[in-house]
Amino acid sequence: MDLCCNQLTGNIPSAIGSLKKLSVVALQHNKLTGEIPSSLSNSLTLTRLDLGFNSLSGGIPLGVAQITQLELLDVRNNSLSGIVPSGIYSPVSFYLVLPI
């Protein structure tokens, strides 16, 4: 699901986590607010989660570390806080993009 650069506003719907065969969530460069829904950890086939360049707050949900297929997590240019969940780096080809 690629909805990049569409000036979307509001929260990321928690229903996205119920899409069991979802492999890509590309929501970067929008105007999304609120927290990253913990329901995303239900999408075990997710390989790419790109949420960069929004106005998201809170932390990265702990369950994201359970998505073993995840190869890219981009959360840069948001207002996130907290720690990166342990175990999130398990795949050999995993890329985590955070602000410097």
pLDDT tens by residue, the chain, 100 residues? 999 999 999 999 999 999 989 999 999 999 999 999 999 999 999 999 999 999 999 999 999 988 889 988 999 999 999 888 877 766 545 566 666 5
CB 99 within 8 A of CB 76: yes
Q: Any idea which fold 9-97 has?
A: 3.80.10
Residue 74 φ/ψ, nearest 5 degrees: -115, 115
Domain ranges in the chain are 9-97
| Overall pTM surpassing 0.85 (yes/no) | yes
Alpha-carbon gap, residue 29 to 60, rounded angstroms: 18
Please report the pLDDT score of residue 84 as a whole number. Answer: 83
Please report the pLDDT score of residue 91 as a whole number. Answer: 55
Q: What pLDDT digit, counting tens, does each position of 26-44 carry?
A: 999 999 999 999 999 999 9
CB 61 within 8 A of CB 82: no
Please report the pLDDT score of residue 87 as a whole number. Answer: 75
